């Protein structure tokens, strides 16, 4: 359970990074940091739309119960790091644990860090959290790519800290090269391509079909309401996981979409039959990267695979638009996405012990977590 804490005072870094300062910024202060925050996004070592201003400010406004603290790193007049955290405890054990905040609506908890001082900022984050009384830092769904791994483990090494990898997984991704036609011939079997052609012909027999992407802010806002309706009408609505199922998530979606549209970081595509939408897809863009955030389709047309057809259109569109990387944001076991997207992005669940190696209670707990994790992996391997 997250516990609200008063904001600690600013803390000057004692890391080797010259001029680095770390502090917890209030939500109001974050608004004053916007220009520098946007500059940080443009100079980040890795992309995470969930911690960019549009997404995070919407989440803080609609989903935060007062427990989130945003740790920022500054060097002179530049913002060089940002990480929202919540404080939790480990059951009955009296340990304060900092957790990178990742609400259900988010898909990544990798901190935003300026590419010029990655290790120094990570080292300062770990030290600052230790200085205010946290004993561990929990990163659930953080980048597992080599650049982040090397930087974090180096920062931990400098502080004589232990890092425990609880889990590691991959999400389907796309790095467009060449033409979409060549790409589909490479990744889709002849049988799969035939099935998609049959599905498309089946839809065409029902009427005029169209694949479209919103061309204006007004059009995107208009289509947004239809997306919410389609999502709520299907299995997500029945499972109460659609955005419209809860007031909080509904307000978040409306807020974040509005901010993303205003910043031109939002694409909404749809598949229609006789001008009636039957599948829709939301993309979030960031500096040449795209996150395929959410999809929805009308389950009455399930036999025609409208969601798959729209995903195929989206892959085609990404080849034409010149993006560098697309994160599917899908489940690691999603067969469709794993077939349609040939690349992979690695993510992981890490826990950093903030007490120095071998000291106090944390030094005893982390080895036990490692043993438990190995035991669980063995059980999974036998099932």
**297 and 224 part of one domain:** yes
**316 and 374 part of one domain:** no
**374 and 285 part of one domain:** no
**204 and 163 part of one domain:** no
> What integer is the mean pLDDT of 327-343?
95
Least confident of 9-13, 263-267, 344-348, 356-360: 9-13
According to DSSP, the residues that pair with 181 across neighbouring strands are none
Q: Which residues contact 319 (CB under 8 A, 6 or more apart)?
A: 176, 178, 179, 180, 183
Share of the chain above pLDDT 90, in %: 83
Band (280; pLDDT cuts 50, 70, 90): very high
Band (372; pLDDT cuts 50, 70, 90): very low
Tell me whether residue 89 is in a domain.
Answer: yes
Produce one character per residue of 91-102: b if its CB has 16 or more CB atoms within 10 Å, e if not: eeeebbbbbbbb
Is residue 1's pLDDT more than 50?
A: no
* pLDDT at residue number 60: 97
Asked if 224 contacts 18 with a C-beta cutoff of 8 angstroms, the reply is no
* pLDDT at residue number 200: 97
Is residue 371's pLDDT more than 50?
A: no
Three-class SS state of 81: strand
**29 and 156 part of one domain:** yes
* pLDDT at residue number 13: 43
Band (164; pLDDT cuts 50, 70, 90): very high
**222 and 356 part of one domain:** no
* pLDDT at residue number 17: 57
State the total domains in the chain: 2
Band (187; pLDDT cuts 50, 70, 90): very high
Q: Which domain holds residue 254?
A: 176-323
Distance separating alpha carbons of residues 70 and 24, to the nearest angstrom? 5
**17 and 106 part of one domain:** yes
> What integer is the mean pLDDT of 177-190?
94
* DSSP-based helix, strand, coil % in the chain, nearest 5: 45, 30, 25
* pLDDT at residue number 375: 39
Q: Which helix (H) or strand (E) element contains residue 277?
A: strand 276-286
Handedness of CA 87, 88, 90, 96 (dihedral sign): positive
Tell me whether residue 337 is in a domain.
Answer: no
Asked if 354 contacts 160 with a C-beta cutoff of 8 angstroms, the reply is no
Q: What is the DSSP letter of 207?
A: S
> What integer is the mean pLDDT of 206-228?
96
**150 and 181 part of one domain:** no
pLDDT tens profile 113-158: 999 999 999 999 999 999 999 999 999 999 999 999 999 999 999 9
Tell me whether residue 191 is in a domain.
Answer: yes
* pLDDT at residue number 89: 79
**229 and 147 part of one domain:** no
**133 and 265 part of one domain:** no
Tell me whether residue 2 is in a domain.
Answer: no
Least confident of 31-35, 87-91, 108-112, 249-253: 87-91
**309 and 197 part of one domain:** yes
- In the numeric block, which tokens belong to residue 222? 């208009």
Is residue 40's pLDDT more than 90?
A: yes
> What integer is the mean pLDDT of 191-214?
96
Alpha helices in the chain, H assignment, sequence order? 27-32, 34-42, 53-63, 118-131, 146-158, 180-187, 190-204, 217-233, 235-238, 247-262, 306-321, 335-340, 360-382
pLDDT tens profile 287-333: 889 999 999 999 999 999 999 999 999 999 999 988 999 999 999 99
Tell me whether residue 376 is in a domain.
Answer: yes
């Amino acid at each position: 359970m997250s516990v609200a804490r008063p904001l600690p005072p600013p803390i000057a870094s004692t890391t080797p990074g010259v001029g680095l300062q770390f502090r917890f910024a209030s939500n109001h202060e974050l608004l004053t940091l916007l220009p520098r925050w946007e500059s940080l996004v443009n100079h980040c070592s890795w992309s995470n739309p969930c911690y960019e201003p549009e997404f995070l400010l919407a989440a803080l406004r609609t989903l935060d119960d007062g427990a989130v603290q945003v740790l920022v790193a500054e060097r002179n007049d530049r913002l060089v790091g940002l990480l929202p955290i919540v404080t939790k405890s480990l059951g009955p054990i009296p340990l304060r644990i900092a957790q990178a905040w990742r609400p259900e609506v988010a898909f990544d908890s990798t901190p935003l860090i300026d590419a010029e001082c990655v290790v120094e900022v990570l080292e300062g984050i770990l030290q600052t959290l230790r200085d205010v009384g946290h004993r561990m830092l929990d990163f659930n769904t953080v980048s597992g790519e080599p650049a982040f791994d090397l930087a974090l483990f180096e920062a931990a090494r400098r502080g004589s800290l232990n890092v425990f990898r609880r889990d590691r997984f991959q999400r389907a991704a796309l790095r467009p090269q060449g033409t979409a036609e060549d790409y589909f011939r490479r990744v889709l079997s002849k049988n799969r391509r035939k099935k998609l052609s049959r599905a498309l012909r089946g839809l065409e027999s029902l009427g005029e079909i169209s694949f479209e992407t919103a061309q204006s802010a007004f059009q995107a806002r208009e289509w947004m309401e239809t997306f919410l309706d389609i999502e709520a009408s299907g299995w997500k609505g029945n499972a109460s996981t659609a955005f419209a199922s809860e007031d909080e998530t509904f307000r978040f979606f409306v807020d974040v979409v509005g901010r993303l549209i205003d910043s031109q970081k939002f694409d909404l595509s749809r598949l229609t039959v006789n001008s009636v939408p039957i599948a829709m897809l939301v993309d979030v863009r960031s500096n040449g990267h795209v996150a395929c955030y959410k999809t929805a389709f009308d389950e009455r047309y399930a036999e025609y695979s409208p969601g798959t057809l729209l995903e195929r259109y989206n892959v085609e569109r990404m080849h034409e638009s010149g993006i560098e990387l697309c994160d599917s944001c899908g489940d690691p076991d999603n067969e469709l996405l794993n077939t349609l997207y040939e690349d992979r992005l690695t993510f992981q669940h890490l826990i950093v012990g903030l007490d120095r190696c071998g000291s106090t209670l944390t030094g005893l707990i982390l080895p036990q977590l490692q043993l438990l994790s190995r035991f669980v992996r063995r059980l999974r391997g036998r099932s």
